[in-house]
Amino acid sequence: DFPPFGYLEEGELEPVGFDIDIVREFARRWLGDANAVELVQVSSSDRIPRLVAGEVDLVAASMTHTKARDMEIDFSQTYFLDGQSLLVRRDSGIEGLDDLDGKVVAVTEGSTSLDNIKAEAAARNIRIEIYPLESHADVLTVLNSGVAAILTTDSVALGRYAPPNPEFIVGG
C-alpha cells in the first residue's frame, strides 16, 4: 500500500511498483525467471520480525537502512535515496516543522518516519501528538478524515498521494 514502491492498482490482484520490479529482476537474474518468487505483503512494523523468523527470505519494502536495524538484519546496497516530508491540507497554514506545535501527526508504525518526526519535535521543543497506524492506507484515511493534521513519510510517496487529492500539498 505504498506507491510507488509496492501497491495494488485499483481492480488488480498483482502488486506493482519499484520494489516489485527490483525483486522480479533479481529473480530473473538469479533464478532465470522473473516470476520465480512468491510475493508476501508486509507492513512497516512486521517486516523485520517476519524476516528474522524466517517467514520471508527477503524484504524489499522501502526500508531505511539504520544502525539499529543493522543489529538485527543484513542490508543490500542502498538502491533508493529519499527524504521525509509532510502532507497537509492546503488551507492548514502549515508550511514546515515549526508549524506543528499542538498538531496530530499520522505516521506508520515501525517506520523511520516515526522516529524522525519525534526527534525533530523534541529538538525544536514542539508538542505533537503521534497517531501511529499499521498501514499507509490507514494513515491516509486518518488524514482525509481530519483526525490528523499531518501525514509524514517518504517524500516520493507523498508526491504520489497529493495529486489525486487537490486539497493536500506536500511541504516541510
Q: What is the pLDDT of residue 138?
A: 86
For residue 6, the 8-state DSSP code is: B
pLDDT for residue 58: 94
Can you tell me the distance from the alpha carbon of 13 to that of 17, in angstroms, rounded to the nearest whole number?
Answer: 13
Residue 85 near residue 171, CB atoms below 8 Å: yes
pLDDT, tens digit, 9 for 90 and up, residues 109-150? 888 999 999 999 999 999 999 999 888 888 888 888 989 999
Task: Tell me the per-residue pLDDT of 27-42, one tens digit each, with 9 for 90 and over.
Answer: 999 999 999 999 999 9
pLDDT tens-digit profile of 69-88? 999 999 999 889 999 999 99
Query: Who's near 77: CB < 8 A, 6+ residues apart?
Result: none
Q: Which pLDDT band, with edges at 50, 70 and 90, does 16 fall under? A: very high
Cell numbers describing residue 110 = 515501525
Residues 60, 74 contacting (CB under 8 angstroms): no
Buried residues in 119-140 as b, exposed as e (16+ CB within 10 A): ebbeeeebebeebbbebbebbb
Amino acid at 96: G
**Average of per-residue pLDDT values in the chain:** 91
Rg (CA), the chain: 17
Q: Say what percent of the chain tops pLDDT 70.
A: 99
Query: Using an 8 Å Cβ cutoff, are 143 and 87 in contact?
Result: yes
**What predicted TM-score, i.e. pTM, was given to this entire model?**
0.78
Phi and psi angles of residue 98, each rounded to the nearest 5 degrees, phi first: -70, -15
Nearest C-alpha neighbor of 148 from the set 105, 99, 113 = 105
Give the separation between CA 64 and CA 66, rounded to whole angstroms. Answer: 6
Whether the pLDDT of residue 172 is over 70: the answer is no
C-alpha cell at 161: 498521494
